[in-house]
Amino acid sequence: MDLEEQCVSPEAVICVVDDDDEVRESIGTFFRAAGIKVAKFGSAEDLLAWPNLPTMRCLITDLTMSGMDGLELQRELRRRGREVPVILMTAFPTAEVRERAEAQGVSSFVAKPTDPETLLAKLEALLSW
């Protein structure tokens, strides 16, 4: 996790979880430039250990990561009572993956590489900003 992104204030934040540093940085930089508070994490486990988890308003996560994957992360958040919109990113956008994600209640699904403007549009649609 980026220490500067711990977000100690109670403001709602968008959490980005991806084990690819470049993807996290690109999305984080774009969202911050758009005035959106963002916290970035290199793994699902890092997000789950974050003390400010209650401030998360939306999760943008990669499907395939070392350790817990994006769908497992969503299930664990639900188990903990954290229901938030989830945008799932994957480099392998097969019909099977999309069906699994939709069956689990993923809010939106995007193929990687992901254009930050596409993510912003999906985020705005989900959160009605």
Task: For 100-129, write each residue's pLDDT tens digit.
Answer: 889 999 999 899 998 889 999 999 888 875
Question: Which token pair is 12?
Answer: 């709602």
* Domains of the chain as residue ranges with CATH: 3-121 (3.40.50.2300)
Instruction: Please say whether the beta carbons of 84 and 58 come within 8 A.
Output: yes
* Region of poorest pLDDT, from 2-6, 94-98, 102-106: 2-6
3-state class of 15 per DSSP? Answer: strand
Provide the pLDDT for residue 11. Answer: 66
pTM: 0.88
Using the Cα atoms of residue 9, residue 11, residue 12 and residue 15 in order, give the sign of their dihedral: negative
Band of pLDDT at residue 86, cut at 50, 70 and 90: very high
CB 106 within 8 A of CB 20: no
